[in-house]
Amino acid sequence: MQDLIERAAQTIRTARKTVALTGAGISAESGIPTFRDPGGLWDRYDPEEYATIEAFHRDPGKVWRMMKDFTELKTALPNPGHFGLAHLEQLGLLHCIITQNVDNLHQAAGSRDVIEFHGNMRQVVCLSCRKMLPLEEISLETLPPYCGCGGVFKPAGVFFGEPIPSHALYRSQDEAQSCDLILVIGTSAVVYPAADIPRVAKEAGAQVIEINPKHTDLTDWLADLIIQEKAGIAIPQIIAAIKAIAS
């Protein structure tokens, strides 16, 4: 493994522009269950019942009760994987993060340039007047919560069946097409269009480094370097190797 860590460190050090694509796996060590791992969120909640926009319109109270139960999202803290990417950004070795996560942990770890591809569940949006507020600023005493305009508030994450925020979609495409290295961390790469970003980068000539303890849809056909390890372990090791090379 050390050899792979050192190759990743050398590749990151010499890259012209590095972008990271992250998924639920990077937050697993913060206590937030992933979606598709055994015992994951989609084992606990049927996504057809809780994660489509149709399901929200059908019964917003039911979706909000799930959100209220999902305490991990509110209490979770960043882990060494998140802090490692923030540190790479500070070192000028990471240009931006494209995240599928809605947990705000990259920002909490100090990352400044984070593209929220699937929105952010720590905010709410009124489906009538489009007002956006931090989750903490609304009462969840009665569910669903309503806006002063009479509209219903929805968590500001992207539900299945909703479009990706256009600024996030176009900017992610631009960054993928102009990078020469993409770090793909903690995603099963089965949900599109996010899962297409590594292919866009690869076809533009970028190298692909995958960090994931398990095999994914990308491992065999797209990844140039595969680090089958947890992000919270691999990323700090890569940073230590970068510093060792520089010293």
Among 11, 23, 89, 208, binds ligand APR (CB under 6 A): 23
Question: Which residue number, 82 or 118, has a Cβ lying nearer to ligand APR?
Answer: 118
**Which is nearer to ligand APR, 151 or 236 (by Cβ)?**
236
Q: Identify the DSSP state of 54.
A: H
- Give Cα separations from 38 to 12, 28, 43, 44, 141 (angstroms): 32, 12, 7, 10, 32
- Closest of 6, 39, 21 to residue 198, by C-alpha: 21
Q: Which of 151, 165, 213, 236 binds ligand APR (CB under 6 A)?
A: 213
H/E element holding 116?
strand 114-116
Q: Is 57 a catalytic residue?
A: no
Binding piece for ligand APR, criterion CB under 6 A, among 19-27, 62-70, 120-128, 176-184: 19-27
The residue number whose beta carbon is nearest to ligand APR equals 25
Using CB under 6 A as the binding criterion, the count of chain residues that bind ligand APR stands at 25
Q: How many C-beta atoms lie closer than 10 Å to residue 202's C-beta?
A: 18
Identify which range of 32-40, 57-65, 103-111, 136-144 contacts ligand APR by CB under 6 A.
Answer: 32-40
Biggest CA pair distance of the chain:
60
Q: Does 176 bind ligand APR (CB under 6 A)?
A: no
Residues numbered 114-153 forming contacts with ligand APR, rule: CB under 6 A: 118
- Report residue 230 CA to chain centroid gap: 15
Q: Which of 57, 118, 167, 215 is catalytic?
A: 118
Count of CB atoms situated within 10 Å of the CB of 26: 33
CA 179 from chain centre, in angstroms, equals 18
**Residue 123 Cβ, how far from ligand APR at the closest point, in Å?**
16
Q: Is 35 in the site for ligand APR (CB under 6 A)?
A: yes
From 9-17, 123-131, 140-148, 206-214, span contacting ligand APR (CB under 6 A): 206-214
Q: Cβ 193 to ligand APR, closest distance in Å? A: 11
Say how far apart CA 89 and CA 168 lie, in whole Å. Answer: 19
Q: Which of 107, 120, 188, 237 binds ligand APR (CB under 6 A)?
A: 188
Who's near 172: CB < 8 A, 6+ residues apart? 98, 115, 117, 197
Residue 214 in the binding site for ligand APR (CB under 6 A): yes
**Is 178 buried (19+), middle (13-18) or exposed (0-12) by CB count in 10 A?**
middle
Query: Active-site residues: which are they?
Result: 118
Q: Which residues bind ligand APR (CB under 6 A)?
A: 23-26, 28-29, 34-37, 40, 100, 118, 186-188, 191, 211-214, 216, 230-232
